């Protein structure tokens, strides 16, 4: 569960880079029509919003409860009520319908890569802006295309994280059914 949270935090940082550093900047320069911007970035704004405002805060709140329970735990007070919030499967079951938005992004991915490459070759100002953004220290000189791979890889990553999580759950865990359903 901790790994789910830490990878979600890292993933939201990647989405922030794509949305705030690249998409918003390129959009503000008014170099391209909304259609070209859609070809480049598809629905990344919606994905970023979902993860930043819903999925990540849900995981953070749940893990804060786990940490508090761990700090307050004592052998004398051990009860099943203490672990009732030690689960994440229900969060993924609740949020799973929103993950269908990845279909649009993934189906558009090759087109996005081609559009970015084509526009970079055609438009010197766009190429200069891309170089400027990529020189930011937090990007480690990685290209927009590199960062845009993160959403493509995220759904398979959830699958692996959930499989590992389920393997580690005790057989009598209150989260086993939700986790399996989420998977």
Instruction: State how far the alpha carbon of 8 is from the alpha carbons of 3, 28, 138, in Å.
Output: 8, 28, 18
Q: Helix (H, G, I), strand (E, B), or coil: what is residue 1? A: coil
Cα distance between residue 36 and residue 9, in whole Å: 29
pLDDT in tens, 127-174: 999 999 999 999 988 999 999 999 999 999 999 999 999 999 998 888
> Which tokens sit at 125?
């100002």
pLDDT in tens, 24-63: 999 999 999 999 999 999 999 999 999 999 999 999 999 9
Cα distance between residue 116 and residue 60, in whole Å: 34
Q: Are 96 and 158 in contact (CB under 8 A)?
A: no
Give the Cβ contact number of residue 91 at 10 Å: 20
Q: What is the pTM (predicted TM-score) of this model?
A: 0.89
pLDDT in tens, 72-127: 655 445 554 445 567 899 999 999 999 999 999 999 999 999 999 999 999 999 99
- The predicted structure's pLDDT at residue 86: 79
Share the mean pLDDT of the chain: 91
- The predicted structure's pLDDT at residue 67: 74
Within 8 A by CB and 6+ apart from 46, the residues are: 101
> Which tokens sit at 122?
């055609």
Q: Are 175 and 169 in contact (CB under 8 A)?
A: yes
> Which tokens sit at 137?
């220290």
Q: Which residue has the tokens 């200069």?
A: 128
């Amino acid at each position: 569960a901790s790994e789910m949270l830490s990878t979600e935090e890292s993933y939201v940082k990647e989405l922030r880079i794509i949305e705030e550093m690249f998409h918003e900047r390129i959009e503000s320069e008014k170099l391209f029509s909304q259609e070209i911007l859609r070809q480049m970035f598809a629905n990344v704004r919606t994905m970023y919003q979902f993860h930043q405002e819903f999925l990540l805060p849900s995981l953070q709140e749940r893990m804060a409860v786990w940490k508090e329970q761990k700090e307050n735990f004592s052998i004398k007070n051990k009860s099943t009520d203490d672990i009732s919030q030690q689960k994440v499967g229900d969060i993924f079951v609740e949020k799973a319908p929103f993950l269908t938005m990845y279909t649009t992004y993934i189906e558009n991915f090759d087109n996005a890569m081609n559009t970015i490459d084509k526009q970079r070759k055609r438009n010197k100002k766009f190429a200069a802006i891309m170089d400027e953004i990529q020189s930011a220290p937090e990007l480690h000189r990685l290209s927009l295309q590199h960062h845009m791979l993160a959403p493509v890889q995220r759904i398979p990553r959830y699958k692996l994280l959930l499989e590992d999580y389920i393997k580690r759950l005790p057989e009598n865990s209150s989260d086993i059914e939700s986790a399996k359903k989420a998977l």
